[in-house]
Chain A
Amino acid sequence: MLVADFEVARREFSVRVNVQVRPGERVALLGRSGAGKTTTVEALAGLQRLSRGEIRLGGRLLSSAWYPTADVPPGRRRVGLLRQDTGLFPHLTVLQNIGYAREADPAAARATAERLGLGALVGARPRGLSGGEAQRVSLARALQAKVGLLCLDEPFTSLDRPLSVELLELLRRELDGSGTSAILVTHQLEEAQAFAQRLAVLHRGEILQVADARDLVLRPASREVAELVGYRGWLSSGPQTMGLHPDRVYPVAAADDWEISARVVGLVPQGARIELELEAEGRWRGRFRCRSDRSVPIGELMWFACPGAPIFRTAEQHRGALSDP
C-alpha cells in the first residue's frame, strides 16, 4: 500500500499531497496544466526532494523529510514512471529495451512483447518506430520492471484518441491481478474515468477532492472541481451559484419549482448532437449549455430540469465550497 503525505516546495506554490493507494488499485490524478501533477509523481519516483512529510510503499520508507531523513534512490524504490517522452534507448533493440530492467527476465520480456503486439518488432531500433509503437515498447519495459507502484505521467497524450484509449485498456488488462498499484496523471476526465477506480483532483498543489469516478461528476466539492469535470454553466441567485453540466440538463415541457426558464442564444454542433447556448431568465440568472438531439430556433424560450445540480456558496468565492443541503 502506498501511503504518501508530503509537501514539495515549488517557486509558485508548494505541492501538498496526502494520498493512500491500495495494492492493485488504480488512481487518477486529475488537474490542469501546472497544478503540480508531475511534481507529485516525480516525488513518488524519487526525482523530487520532499520539504515535508514522507512516502511509504508496502510499509517501506522511501522518502522522509523528517529526521532521520530518507531518500531511497529511484532505481531501488520499486516505483516505475512512464512519461510522454518514451525514453527508449536508441542503441538497443526493442527486445533489449523491454528487457532492460534489472529484474527483467528475457523469456518474460519476449512474452510481453508478443502480448503487446510487438512480436514483429523485437529486432527493430526505436528510431524506426511510430509514436504508438514506441509507447507500447515503453509500456512493456515499465511492466517488466516488477514495481509496486507504476506512475503514468500523461504517457499517451500525444497519441490520437483511439490509440490512447487502446493503450490505456491494454495497460489496465496488464495491471489487473498483478498487484501493482498505478497512478495516472491526466487532465482528461474521460481518460481518468476509463482507467481509474478513484480520482483525485489536484489544483494549485492541493488535492481538492478524492472520489470514485462517477461521484466526482455528480457531487463536485468545489467550483474548481466542477469546472475540471465539465461543468460549464454557472447560474447565480443571491449568495448562491448553481453549477450546470451540459450532460445533466434536460429540456422539459412544463414549469416546476425546480426548473429553469431560458432563452436559446446560440447553437453549437457537438458530434451527432447540438449544444444549445442558453440565457437563463427568472430566479436564476446566467448562461449555461444543454445538449439536444434537435435544432431549436434562436430566441425560443424553453424550460429545463437539472436534477441534483450542485449549489455553491458564492461567499467563499476562492474555493466555492459545496452548500450544505
Chain B
Amino acid sequence: MRGAGVRVSTGAALFGALIVWVALLGPLISLLAHLTPASVWNALSQPGALQPLVTSVTASLVALAVILLLGTPLAYLMARGRLPFPRIWEAGVILPLLTPPLVIGLLLIFMVGPATPIGAALSHLNLTASDTFFALIVAEIYESVPFYVLGAMAAFATVDPALEQAAALLGDGRWRTWRRVTIPMAAPGLANALAVTWARAMGAFGAVLIIAYHPFGLPMQIWVTLQETGLASALPYALVLLVVALPLPVAAYIWSARARRRL
C-alpha cells in the first residue's frame, strides 16, 4: 500500500512539474507558432531594421564589462564578509531588483539627469544620461547588476577559504591566489551569473523607456513597432531578441554543469 502511495505522489509531482514546464515554455512556443520565415525576412530586410540589434548588443556588452569589473570585487568582498555592515551592502544590491524598472528609470532622472550635480559633472565629459547611448548603458546596468552580484556572491561562497589559505601558504599573494584558485573555482557560478545578467541587460526595458527612449534598442523597437504597426510586425524583433539573448545563458549553463562535475 505504501509503495502504491509513493508511486501516486511521484506521478502527481511529475504531472505538476510538466504543467509548469509547458506553461513556462508556452510563450516561446506561441511565438514560433505565429512566425513564418517569410514574415521574419520581410521585417528584418527593411533598411535599418537591424540597427536596434546592434545598439542593444553594443550597449549590453559595455554594461556587462562595467558590471564585471565593478561587481566582481564587490561580490567577493560580500561573500567573504569583509565589508562593514554587510546587511546594508546587501540591501543596496537587492534594492534595484525589488524596485520596479519604471521606478528605477524615474529615480535615475533625479540622480543622473542633466539637471542634477552628477549630470552636470557628466556634461563636462560630454556625456548626457538622457536619451543617449550612454543613458541606455546606465539603465541596463541598473536593471541587471543585482543579478550578477548576487550570482557571483553565491559562486564565491562555494570556494572554500581554506584553499585560498593553502595557496597563500604556498607563496601566493592575494591577487595571484584570486587568479589561480578563487576565479577558476568560482568560474562555473560566475559564468551563470554573467549569462543571466547578459539576458537581463539585453531585455532591459522599464528604466530604458524613461531615460533612454532613443537610441532604440531591441526592446524599445519591439514596443514602438507594437504601438505603431501591431503585434505581427513586432514578433520578428521578439524572435531576434530571444535568438541573441538566450544562447549565451544556455551555453553558460551547459559549460558550468560540466565544469562543476570536474571539481
- Classify the interface of chain B: helix, strand, loop or mixed: helix
A85 to B160, CA, bound (A): 12
A101 touching B166, Cβ below 8 Å? no
For B166, what are the chain A residues with a Cβ–Cβ distance below 8 Å?
Answer: 87, 89
A9 to B172, CA, bound (A): 27
A45 interface residue (CB < 8 Å to B): yes
B170 interface residue (CB < 8 Å to A): yes
B171 touching A76, Cβ below 8 Å? yes
A75 to B169, CA, bound (A): 5
For B181, what are the chain A residues with a Cβ–Cβ distance below 8 Å?
Answer: 89
CB distance from B146 to the nearest CB of A (A): 28
The 8 closest A-B pairs by CB, nearest first: A102-B171, A87-B166, A101-B170, A75-B171, A74-B168, A90-B263, A91-B184, A75-B168
B39 interface residue (CB < 8 Å to A): no
Q: Tell which of B166, B169, B171, B173 has the most Cβ of chain A within 10 Å.
A: B169
B162 interface residue (CB < 8 Å to A): yes
B163 interface residue (CB < 8 Å to A): yes
CB distance from B178 to the nearest CB of A (A): 13
Q: How many residues of A contact B (CB 8 A)?
A: 22
Binary contact readout B249-263 vs A (1 if CB under 8 angstroms, 0 otherwise): 000000000000011
A97 to B254, CA, bound (A): 27
B263 touching A127, Cβ below 8 Å? yes
For A315, what are the chain B residues with a Cβ–Cβ distance below 8 Å?
Answer: none
A240 to B10, CA, bound (A): 74
A125 to B260, CA, bound (A): 13
For A87, what are the chain B residues with a Cβ–Cβ distance below 8 Å?
Answer: 162-163, 165-166
A91 touching B169, Cβ below 8 Å? no
A289 interface residue (CB < 8 Å to B): no
Interface residues on B, range: 10 to 19
For B171, what are the chain A residues with a Cβ–Cβ distance below 8 Å?
Answer: 75-76, 101-103, 145
A81 to B162, CA, bound (A): 12
For B263, what are the chain A residues with a Cβ–Cβ distance below 8 Å?
Answer: 90-91, 127
B149 interface residue (CB < 8 Å to A): no
For B104, what are the chain A residues with a Cβ–Cβ distance below 8 Å?
Answer: none
For A91, what are the chain B residues with a Cβ–Cβ distance below 8 Å?
Answer: 184-185, 262-263
For B127, what are the chain A residues with a Cβ–Cβ distance below 8 Å?
Answer: none
A75 touching B163, Cβ below 8 Å? no
B40 interface residue (CB < 8 Å to A): no
A74 touching B185, Cβ below 8 Å? no
Q: List 28 A-B contacts (CB under 8 A).
A: A45-B169, A47-B165, A74-B168, A75-B169, A75-B171, A75-B172, A75-B173, A76-B171, A80-B169, A80-B170, A87-B162, A87-B163, A87-B166, A89-B167, A90-B262, A91-B184, A91-B185, A91-B262, A91-B263, A100-B167, A101-B171, A102-B170, A102-B171, A102-B176, A125-B262, A127-B263, A145-B169, A145-B171
Q: Tell which of A74, A76, A141 has the most Cβ of chain B within 10 Å.
A: A74
CB distance from B211 to the nearest CB of A (A): 42
For B168, what are the chain A residues with a Cβ–Cβ distance below 8 Å?
Answer: 73-75
A200 to B109, CA, bound (A): 69
Closest to A76 in B: B171
A81 touching B169, Cβ below 8 Å? yes
Binary contact readout A99-115 vs B (1 if CB under 8 angstroms, 0 otherwise): 01111000000000000
Closest to A80 in B: B169
CB distance from B262 to the nearest CB of A (A): 7
> Which residues of chain B in 164-218 are interfacial with respect to chain A, using CB atoms and an 8 Å cutoff?
165-173, 176, 180-181, 184-185
A85 to B263, CA, bound (A): 17
B169 touching A85, Cβ below 8 Å? no
A238 to B166, CA, bound (A): 54
Closest to B187 in A: A91
Cβ-neighbour of A90 out of B167, B180, B185 (below 8 A): B185
For B176, what are the chain A residues with a Cβ–Cβ distance below 8 Å?
Answer: 102
Closest to A45 in B: B169
A65 to B172, CA, bound (A): 24
CB distance from B76 to the nearest CB of A (A): 17
Given contacts A75-B173, A81-B169, A87-B166, list 13 more A-B pairs with CB under 8 A: A74-B165, A75-B167, A75-B168, A89-B181, A90-B185, A91-B262, A100-B180, A102-B170, A102-B171, A102-B172, A103-B171, A127-B263, A145-B171
